[in-house]
Amino acid sequence: MTDILFAMGLFGFIVFIMVSKILISFCKHSLPAGPHQIRNLTTGDQQHSVNATELGLDEATLRNYPKLIYAQAKLHKGNSTASCCSICLADYKDTDVLRLLPDCGHLFHVKCVDPWLQQQATCPVCRNSPLAETALSVERH
């Protein structure tokens, strides 16, 4: 009788472990990837996926984003241009150098937004990625 109870207990334990492993595996693989998961970093034998929001932009990418003087921005955008930097909250002067984020069109002082973008690759106002959508889709595949 004890042999039968032992065998049933062992069988139940093995079934429990197998079901647990299947559930864990299913949960890991069924979670959707984040919208900004674009880069794979390889370190040694391990490969890690890193979200774009965790990585800042490099200098070359920042240099490709347009810079303009606030007086120029006012002429091109008219009344829709913000009058102050959303990062430092200082009013723009006509001679201030601003950076234009390409996809969302938000403007910031270069000295304010460049350090931000080097830390995280999102617009400080709308949190959209300033990376072009074509670059994101190419790097995802």
What is the tens place of the pLDDT at every residue in 12-29?
999 999 999 988 887 776
For residue 59, the domain's CATH number is 3.30.40.10
CB of 93 within 8 A of CB of 70?
Answer: yes
Same domain, 75 and 107: yes
Same domain, 25 and 60: no
For residue 32, the enclosing domain spans: 2-52
Same domain, 72 and 116: yes
Instruction: Look at residue 108 in the predicted model and tell me its pLDDT.
Output: 93
Q: Which of 141, 106, 112 is nearest to 127 (CA)?
A: 106
Same domain, 24 and 82: no
- Cα separation of 50 and 29, whole Å? 17
Give the pLDDT mean for 34-61: 54
Tell me the helices (H) and strands (E) count for the chain, helix number first.
5, 5
- Cα separation of 98 and 92, whole Å? 9
Count of the separate structural domains present in the chain: 2
Same domain, 65 and 126: yes
Same domain, 11 and 60: no
pTM above 0.75, yes or no: no
Same domain, 64 and 91: yes
For residue 95, CA distances in Å to 53, 64, 98, 102, 106 come to 31, 21, 9, 21, 18
